[in-house]
Amino acid sequence: MRKGNIIYGLIGAAIFIILEVAALTMLSHNAQLQRTWISSGIQGVMGSVWGFTQNISDYFSLRKSNDELAQENFELRLKLAKAEEALTADLKAEIPAGSSVGEYIYIPATIVKISNNTQHNYMIVGKGSNQGVVEGAGVITGKGAVGVIDAVSENYSYARSFKNHEMSISARLGKEGAVGPLSWNGRTGNGAILKEIPHHVEFAPGDTVYTSGYSSIFPPDIPLGVTGASKIVNGATYEIEVKLFEDFGSVRYVTVVENKGQVEMKRLEEEQ
């Protein structure tokens, strides 16, 4: 019996050892798998963290780039403003204030404020009585007649814009054609209507319209625009659409023009 017990004990010990070896082997394999899972998990977390920090880095880098661009734009605006100031100074040097040509006095100026979105638009001109501007003077550009001075302070003037229902200009079809009042159409920025043109007058779309010279405000032969569609009103006269040359949304540099005989002509008219 004792010998049998020993044999059974050895068999049990062998089975225990075998089971332990198997358990250790399985644990070793499971640990490797766990290490793989843990390693993969760590790599994923590290990847997410790196991506997050990279996004933060990119965000602040973008903000820095935007700040640099804003600074560059600011510096460019300063340079542009200085260039415009120098250009204005050159223009003033070339065209002295109060230059007189024939019956007219010309004063270069700039628009410092302009209204374009109402039915009674106006402009503030950066010249006033100290620079020789007077009430009743015209405001012109190289592309047309744009307003009339209504009020003057020492260094600024208030001008009624051509884009105002209370204003019209004496205009001519071509330099030798019929004359009629030209006024803003009240709808578009560069649209006008030429009225009271006799129905027997011949013209074609695209003909140029000029100031007539029959005004005490504007010199003759300033190009204003070109003709478009037309219609006969009351069977007697034409109303002609005119596309103006001047873009009132970008007017900056102007010339104030005074007719030296305006006061005398006005007084004569009032006396009669």
* Predicted pLDDT at 266: 73
Average pLDDT, the chain: 77
Would you place residue 80 in the very low, low, confident or very high pLDDT band (cuts 50, 70, 90)? low
| Domain range list for the chain | 1-69, 99-271
137-150: per-residue pLDDT in tens? 999 988 899 999 99
Would you place residue 267 in the very low, low, confident or very high pLDDT band (cuts 50, 70, 90)? confident
* Predicted pLDDT at 216: 84
Average pLDDT over residues 13-38: 56
Average pLDDT over residues 232-261: 90
Question: CATH number of the domain at 99-271, please?
Answer: 2.40.10.340
Average pLDDT over residues 143-171: 94
Kindly tell me if the per-residue pLDDT of 89 is higher than 60: no
* Predicted pLDDT at 85: 53
- Helix (H), strand (E), coil (C) string for the chain: CHHHHHHHHHHHHHHHHHHHHHHHHHHHHHHHHHHHHHHHHHHHHHHHHHHHHHHHHHHHHHHHHHHHHHHHHHHHHHHHHHHHHHHHHHHHHHCCCCEEECCEEEEEEEEEEECCCCCEEEEEECCCHHHCCCCCCEEEECCEEEEEEEEECCCCEEEEEEEECCCCEEEEECCCCCEEEEEECCCCCCEEEEEEEECCCCCCCCCEEEECCCCCCCCCCCEEEEEEEEEEECCCEEEEEEEECCCCCCCCEEEEEEECCHHHHHHHHHHC
pTM of this structure: 0.62
14 vs 257, residue with greater confidence: 257
71 vs 191, residue with greater confidence: 191
